[in-house]
Amino acid sequence: MGKLTDKDLVTVLEDLLPPGEDVVAVYSGLWTFAGGFGWPPAEMGPRMLRLIEDYLGPDRTLVLPAYSFLDFARFRRFDLVRTLTETGALPDAALAKSATGADGWVRSRSPMNSYLVRGPRAAELLSRPCTTAWGQDGVLAWLCEVKARIAVLGVPWVSCSMMHHAEELQMVPYRYFKRFAGTLMIDGEESGPCVEVMYARSLQAVPEWDITGFGAELRRQGAVKVSDNRRIPMEAGPAAEVHRVNSDLFADDPYCYITNREVLEAWIRDGKEAEMAGLKPDERWPQ
């Protein structure tokens, strides 16, 4: 079996990200397949990013998740330049460019749910209020509103945060709103306060997930298209359709992905109110 080529990837992109949708969001995990290109590990992110950028061109907007949940929850500092992403080599490559503004890359200022974006509609994403991380005025809702194309590359649909958009809008009972406040930094210099309001899970009753059925349902309904090249695992579809399928599943059963339902129901009955009452004043939302 020979090495994968740049042309192999472009062929997949042409099939799954055709012209017509001018905003594209990609969730990725290059470690699962990029070794097949024979690139040095340190070059995987930058080379993959360049191929995607070149394919999409300057007239389409590219969005990459650049989340930093754990870092901000622990240290309460978010640096637009220095806080590494928890989402892989592809956004890390875009983050390196954003430090100098190369190719127009900019990072949004949500300290736990930031996005890297470049292209004509970047300012729209950056201007979203994001009152709550996954709510109606956030980035996930915007992706649906602008009829974006959403893709998973090298990872299953469990890696796509659209699930959380439906969780918040439908107010699943095993979460509650929690405010995380800290300091915004820009390349090591303090810039001011920053806040993220999460529809958070319990610290006492941690949900256990099995989300494998989500991808299967997307494919069953024809909501996404799958790469014909099995060596480049990629799927893509309209963000609004991905959200619709997910919302329908939650509407039927808010515990549809949960494997420890009894544990969560017991916490909701016996512990949720006390856990919320125990929040510090600056963690409560609304204030």
* The predicted structure's pLDDT at residue 60: 98
* The predicted structure's pLDDT at residue 225: 98
| pLDDT, tens digit, 9 for 90 and up, residues 198-240 | 999 998 999 999 998 999 999 999 999 999 999 999 999 999 9
What domain range includes position 119?
Answer: 6-283
Q: Are strands 77-79 and 175-186 parallel, antiparallel or unpaired?
A: parallel
Whether 222 is in a domain gets the answer: yes
On whether the CB atoms of residues 199 and 177 are closer than 8 A, the answer is yes
Number of domains in the chain: 1
Whether 104 is in a domain gets the answer: yes
- C-alpha–C-alpha distance, residues 239 and 149, integer Å: 6
Token representation of residue 95: 């983050």
Checking if the pLDDT of 268 tops 90, the result is yes
Whether 257 is in a domain gets the answer: yes
Token pair 């339902």: residue: 261
Whether 1 is in a domain gets the answer: no
Checking if the pLDDT of 74 tops 90, the result is yes
Query: What is the number of residues in the chain?
Result: 287
Checking if the pLDDT of 172 tops 80, the result is yes
Whether 86 is in a domain gets the answer: yes
- C-alpha–C-alpha distance, residues 93 and 147, integer Å: 26
Whether 96 is in a domain gets the answer: yes
* pLDDT-based confidence at residue 1 (cuts at 50, 70, 90): confident
Picking from 278, 246, 12, 13, the residue whose alpha carbon sits closest to that of residue 144 is 246
Checking if the pLDDT of 252 tops 80, the result is yes
Residue 28 φ then ψ, to 5°: -140, 160
| pLDDT, tens digit, 9 for 90 and up, residues 30-69 | 999 999 999 999 999 999 999 999 999 999 999 999 999 9
**What pTM value is reported for the model?**
0.97
| pLDDT, tens digit, 9 for 90 and up, residues 175-199 | 999 999 999 999 999 999 999 999 9
Whether 218 is in a domain gets the answer: yes
